Amino acid sequence: EQESFFQDIDLLQKHGINVADIKKLKSVGICTVKGIQMTTRKALCNIKGLSEAKVEKIKEAAGKMLNVGFQTAFEYSAKRKQVFHITTGSQEFDKLLGGGVESMAITEAFGEFRTGKTQLSHTLCVAAQLPGEDGYAGGKVIFIDTENTFRPDRLRDIADRFNVDHDAVLDNVLYARAYTSEHQMELLDFVAAKFHEEGGVFKLLIIDSIMALFRVDFSGRGELAERQQKLAQMLSRLQKISEEYNVAVFITNQMTADPGAGMTFQADPKKPIGGHILAHASTTRISLRKGRGEMRIAKIFDSPDMPENEATFAISAGGVTDAKE
């Protein structure tokens, strides 16, 4: 099963593509044949040293190796069987998500500060490493931090709760701090290379606050179009990575006051930032809000297959857990 999932880009050599060109593709994070299919000719031509003729040849070779066209829904459903779910630490919350955070998809959690976004990220870091339901074996995690909120000590507390070894847990999390939106995008090249290098080992990619750096790097209306375009490229990259390597992608997002909402009678005049681009890119969107005390309420905001329900969970020393009635 896993073999058909990754077709290493080196296989292109059989189709007459030379090693130097393959190396150039790898340098920009294209490591699988599917990765070529997911990249436009225009983008390939922008790679230093690849002429249009070469790009055509590469595309043609990749086309021969991949089934480009259609498959029946039945065939596709067999492929969907490879999808796994990572527990959030709360059964209620898992039920809301249809089993947990799903692979081959982007799950976005947004809310104001103190609604548990970062706690959820930290809990997932540990939960992803534990064997779970339906034969999920557990795996490593990559954490990209844009707001300096990652705390290894939190992982230790959460590891205690699940009775797993501290050092082992911390060893299985690869951490990177992103400083600009460009840096954030460049890190994804590294992520793709890493997922490829250790095929099937990594199960989860977390970006704690997808939008924070975009908010800083692009200001005002004048730069909005450019910001959204860059954001769209980044999200499209995330979506491809999740499908190409069968990993779960979990991102958090901030809220903003919606100035137009005063006119309409919405109960909650705040909305997640990132606009329509982010809204369409995320497979499942969860809104988080504060309840009483340690309680938090998660609500499905948008999902292709889950109904709009709510779930209550709690934040404890050991991360996200079930709310005690």
pLDDT at 268: 63
Distance CA 204, CA 296 (A): 23
- How far, in whole angstroms, is CA 187 from its chain's centroid? 13
For the residues of 239-265, what is the DSSP string, one character each? HHHHHHHT-EEEEEE-EEE-GGGGTTT
Given a cut of 60, whether residue 325 has pLDDT beyond it is yes
pLDDT at 251: 96
Q: How confident is the model at residue 184 (pLDDT cuts 50, 70, 90)?
A: very high
What is the average pLDDT across 163-167?
Answer: 95
Q: Is the distance from CB of 239 to CB of 227 less than 8 angstroms?
A: no
pLDDT at 135: 85
pLDDT at 2: 46
pLDDT at 106: 96
Given a cut of 80, whether residue 68 has pLDDT beyond it is no
Q: What is the CATH number of domain 79-322?
A: 3.40.50.300
The count of other CB atoms within 10 Å of the CB of residue 226 is 11
Q: Which residue has the higher pLDDT, 69 or 250?
A: 250
What is the average pLDDT across 42-57?
Answer: 92
pLDDT at 75: 87
Q: Is the distance from CB of 214 to CB of 230 less than 8 angstroms?
A: yes
Highest mean pLDDT pick, 75-84, 117-126, 217-226: 117-126
- Per residue, what are the HEC states of 85-124? EECCCCHHHHHHCCCCEEECEEEEEECCCCCCHHHHHHHH
Strand-pair partners of 205: 142, 249
The count of other CB atoms within 10 Å of the CB of residue 211 is 23
What is the average pLDDT across 21-43?
Answer: 89
> Percent of the chain at pLDDT above 70?
94
* Per-domain boundaries in the chain: 9-65, 79-322
pLDDT at 265: 60
pLDDT at 38: 86
Mean pLDDT of the chain: 90
- The model's pTM is 0.87
Given a cut of 80, whether residue 153 has pLDDT beyond it is yes
Given a cut of 80, whether residue 161 has pLDDT beyond it is yes
Given a cut of 50, whether residue 3 has pLDDT beyond it is no
Given a cut of 50, whether residue 285 has pLDDT beyond it is yes
Distance CA 148, CA 178 (A): 9
pLDDT at 234: 92
What is the average pLDDT across 76-102?
Answer: 93
> Percent of the chain at pLDDT above 90?
63
Three-state DSSP state, 153: helix
From the options 3.20.20.60, 1.10.150.20, 1.10.540.10, 1.10.340.30, give the CATH code of 9-65: 1.10.150.20
What is the average pLDDT across 3-30?
Answer: 85
Distance CA 235, CA 247 (A): 15
Highest mean pLDDT pick, 179-188, 213-222, 252-261: 179-188
